[in-house]
Amino acid sequence: MSTKEDPAVTNFRNYIRIKTVQPNPDYASSTKFLQDQAKDVGAEFLVVECMPGKPAVIMTLPGEDPCLPSLLLNSHTDVVPVFPEHWKYDPFSAHKDENGDIYGRGTQDMKSVGIQYLEAIKRLKKDGHKFLRTVHLTFVPEEEVGGLNGMGKLVEMDLFKRLQVGLALDEGYSNPTNAMTAFYGQRSICSLVVTCPGQPGHGSQFLENTAGEKARRIINSFLGFRDAEERRLKENPDLKLGDVTTINLTILEGGVQFNVLPAELKLSFDIRVCPAQVETFEDKVRGWCKEAGEGVTYKLREPFRQMEQMCVEEGKNPWWDTFAAACKKANVELEKEIFPASTDMKFLRAMGIDAIGFTPMNNTPRLLHDHNEYLNEKVFLRGIDIYYQLIHDLANLKPF
């Protein structure tokens, strides 16, 4: 245990110690840290404000043919809040235990990946490798609060178009098995509010047309579908979470007093629709509301829409083929999946850019956003080897 720590691990732990935690991330310190990193890897360095006080850092390593579509390595700098009383160690101390497990907010999501990109590039340069294509690294703010004021703004800038991104790599998440997962699309996310109006009156009677009965039917329909999807997932080992739809009741509102029937009850649902069901899902919702009774309506915060996917069919997309081949060379057992939640890749894919969500973290419990988030240093270091191969092969992909 007295052996010297790998400088890449030290670098990673230093990044964890910067409190870029929502809702008040210290972006000034992370920007300063990244400026030093850019110097270390010999990359051009640029800071752009997506919004006042919300900086994105862009590093660039020009390729031998800068006209070719580039490779973008994206990560976000912010992390989600913590409940320190539930942590074994201070979540911003980057404590390393005797197993080499490094504890800290952002160890999985996703400061590890940001440093792994940088360390892989450092090594590639040290070994004398050149890139045919330009490689950009973006470190963006505000992903953990939806990304609208981070990547969402960055992609709209002319400056971003000038990066000419051909392929972007971004986050996935850890895999508890020996495999690693590449995400090539995501589910359609929707928050939906159902309003059930009803006959008000004294709570002592059998009134007709009550809000409570309608709410019960709504819950039965929505959560009945939830049960069916859960069963479908459990019964078919080929299906992943991204292949089914999840529905969760998240807010119940209404009522004024225990003996007064409410004139209205509201139910909010968090819904993530798998690609195969997007086209027909709203009809289902409409039907459920109709069946629930008179006057039941629903409101969507944004429409259900099919999210863009990257083509990952063998032999059809040289970016994917190169990615998959490089993983194989690096002995990665690769699985491909639809991402069950949402990341900044949605902004890139909406621009027509191919994007793969990949976090090279296997045999690691999925602790993103959870207490005691940690990453073992060996897994972290292997991730650098994997990016070494990936960046090398992708940045040297011949024109097609």
Q: Which residue's C-beta sits nearest to Zn ion? A: 109
Cβ 110 to Zn ion, closest distance in Å? 4
Query: Tokens 């109006």 label which residue?
Result: 197
Task: Tell me which residues in 319-338 interact with Zn ion (CB under 5 A).
Answer: none
- Cα torsion angle, 143, 146, 150, 153, sign: positive
User: What is the rounded end-to-end Cα distance, in angstroms, of the chain?
Assistant: 49
Q: Classify residue 371 as exposed, middle or buried by CB count within 10 Å of its CB (0-12, 13-18, 19+).
A: middle
CA 343 to each of CA 143, 145, 150, 168, 348: distance values in angstroms, whole numbers, following the listed order: 7, 10, 11, 13, 10
Q: Select 50 or 296, whichever has its Cβ closest to Zn ion.
A: 50
| 385 catalytically annotated | no
Closest approach, Cβ 33 to Zn ion, in A, equals: 18
Q: Is 109 or 337 the residue whose CB approaches Zn ion more closely?
A: 109
**109 belongs to the binding site for Zn ion (CB under 5 A):** yes
| Number of residues binding to Zn ion, judged by CB under 5 A | 3
Which of 73, 110 has the CB closer to Zn ion?
110
- Can you tell me the distance from the alpha carbon of 340 to that of 216, in angstroms, rounded to the nearest whole number? 28
Tell whether residue 140 is a contact of Zn ion (CB under 5 A). no
In the shown chain, the binding pattern of residues 160 to 179 toward Zn ion, with x for contact by CB under 5 A and - for none, equals: -----------x--------
User: Residue 174 burial by CB count (10 A; 0-12/13-18/19+): exposed, middle or buried?
Assistant: buried
Nearer Cβ to Zn ion (111/214): 111
Alpha carbons 56 and 141: distance in angstroms, whole number: 6
Smallest distance, Zn ion to C-beta of residue 55, A? 18
Q: Which of residues 204-243 bind Zn ion (CB under 5 A)?
A: none
Cis peptide before 7 (omega within 30 of 0): no
- Of the candidates 78, 142, 354, 377, the residue annotated as catalytic is 78
**CA–CA separation, 106 vs 93, rounded Å?**
11
Q: Is 373 in the site for Zn ion (CB under 5 A)?
A: no
x-or-dash string of contact with Zn ion, 67-106, rule CB under 5 A: ----------------------------------------
Nearer to Zn ion, 249 or 341 (CB): 341
Phi/psi for 79 (5° steps) reads: -135, 165
Q: How far is the CB of 226 from Zn ion (least distance, A)?
A: 25
Q: Catalytic residue among 101, 109, 119, 143, which?
A: 143
CB of 76 to Zn ion, least distance (A): 6
Q: How far is the CB of 207 from Zn ion (least distance, A)?
A: 49
In the bound state with Zn ion, the residue whose beta carbon lies nearer, of 119 and 171, is 171
Strands, E, within the chain: which ranges?
A: 44-51, 54-61, 70-76, 101-103, 135-140, 165-170, 180-186, 188-197, 201-202, 246-254, 260-261, 264-273, 297-300, 334-339, 354-358, 374-376
According to CB under 5 A, which one of 59, 110, 267, 273 is a site residue for Zn ion? 110
Q: Which two tokens stand for residue 75?
A: 């990560």
Question: Annotated catalytic, 377?
Answer: no
Residues that bind Zn ion (CB under 5 A): 109-110, 171
Q: Which residues belong to the active site?
A: 78, 143
